[in-house]
Amino acid sequence: MQLKKIFYLIIFIFVTKFCFSFYAILESNIVREGGVLKIKIGNYSELKAADIIFNNQKYPIFFVGYNYREREYVYNTIIPVPLDTKTGKKNLEIKCLFESDEEKYHKERIIIKPLFKEKDKLTRINTKGKIQGDTLSELQRENKIISKFQEKYTTIKYDLPFMMPISEIEPVISSNFGKTRKYDEANISWRHKGIDIAAPAGTKVRAANHGRVVAAYAFKAYGNTVIIDHGGGIYSLYLHMDDVYVRTDDKVFKGDIIGTVGNTGISTGPHLHFQINIFKVPVNPYELM
């Protein structure tokens, strides 16, 4: 009788391990444009390869660690939903290849909702007048440079949640993520890719999470800028700073002071433009905080 119980136990463990060990969990299937999809994948053995396909784009997954208690390998990824993504239902597909060359697929239906659109008009640029054509050219040039700083997808360094980069005072958000902004009387507008935090010049700016500094750069339009690689395709950007206390390749931890609030570049007053990009796509920073 005892041997029979042991036999059934072994069969149960075998079936559980090899038939039910693979799983994929989404924090939510409902997301707004500019939001994120957080996905966790687990399996009893290491994955040989894996891809996530969403919105006609392919995304990698990243190894997090081995869970000794559950005896499983854990992976995750955070996928961006760009601003102006068409709302409604979309499919998300997860493809995993195991060491045995077996493939498994997991599909989810995602519901995308619109982000409320605010409008803003800026009539002064550092009191120097309106945006000119050369300034637009400079913005385009700097955007290309910033994009190059985010080309590498490294292992995960962050832990959730991210923190507000200004913590010495109560943050005052002067411009929200996704707000449509028009500059001066020119026929120029775009949606705000981050959040603007108004604060006195000299206020300490802190790293929103662990990572490595990939740029500490003085731009003409974006001002003194710091870019941090947090791994998993996530980068945080800190624009219009005054002093910068870090250098390229510096390792930083969540809460480390990286500089101070300023009014450099195209700016209407002392503030920090804080932005989070995932796979180069700007997302609402609050989604990770």
Give residue-wise pLDDT tens across range 80-94.
999 989 999 999 999
In this chain, the answer to whether the domains covering 2-113 and 119-288 adopt an identical fold is no
Spell out a b/e string for 57-79, using b for 16 or more CB atoms within 10 Å of the CB, else e.
eebebbebeeeeeeebbebbbbb
Lowest mean pLDDT among 12-21, 75-84, 154-163, 235-244: 12-21
Question: Has residue 143 got a pLDDT over 80?
Answer: yes
Spell out a b/e string for 85-111, using b for 16 or more CB atoms within 10 Å of the CB, else e.
beeeebebebebebeeeeeeebebebe
Backbone angles phi, psi at 140, to 5 degrees: -65, -40
Question: How many of the other CB atoms lie within 10 Å of CB of 228?
Answer: 28
Question: Has residue 210 got a pLDDT over 80?
Answer: yes
Best CA proximity match to 193, nearest among 93, 59, 284: 284
Beta bridge partners of 218: 224
Give the residue, 2 or 151, on which the prediction is more confident. Answer: 151
The class of domain 2-113 in CATH terms is mainly beta
What's the Rg (C-alpha) of the chain?
Answer: 22
Stated pTM of the model: 0.85
Q: What is the largest CA-CA distance in the chain?
A: 90
* Mean pLDDT for the stretch of residues 224-251: 97
Domain spans of the chain, in order of start: 2-113, 119-288
Alpha carbon of 185 to those of 6, 123, 128, 130, 285: distances in Å?
80, 7, 14, 8, 29
Which pLDDT score, from 0 to 100, does residue 132 have? 56
Asked whether 276 and 194 are in contact (CB, 8 A), the reply is yes
What is the percentage of the chain residues whose pLDDT exceeds 90? 62
Q: What 3-state DSSP class applies to 32?
A: strand
Which pLDDT score, from 0 to 100, does residue 19 have? 47
What is the percentage of the chain residues whose pLDDT exceeds 70? 83
What CATH topology corresponds to 119-288?
Glucose Permease (Domain IIA) (2.70.70)
Q: Give the model's confidence band at 182: pLDDT under 50 very low, under 70 low, under 90 confident, else very high.
A: low
Tell me the residue type at 168.
E
Give residue-wise pLDDT tens across range 7-60.
444 444 444 444 447 788 899 999 999 999 999 998 888 888 889 999 999 999
Q: Alpha helix (H) ranges present in 149-190? A: none
Question: Has residue 229 got a pLDDT over 70?
Answer: yes
Lowest mean pLDDT among 16-30, 181-195, 230-244, 270-284: 181-195
Asked whether 63 and 155 are in contact (CB, 8 A), the reply is yes
Best CA proximity match to 31, nearest among 89, 114, 112: 112
N-term to C-term CA, the chain = 55
Alpha carbon of 11 to those of 59, 68, 151: distances in Å?
37, 22, 47
Q: What 3-state DSSP class applies to 16?
A: helix
Give residue-wise pLDDT tens across range 107-127.
999 999 998 766 555 544 443
Alpha carbon of 67 to those of 40, 72, 77: distances in Å?
13, 5, 17
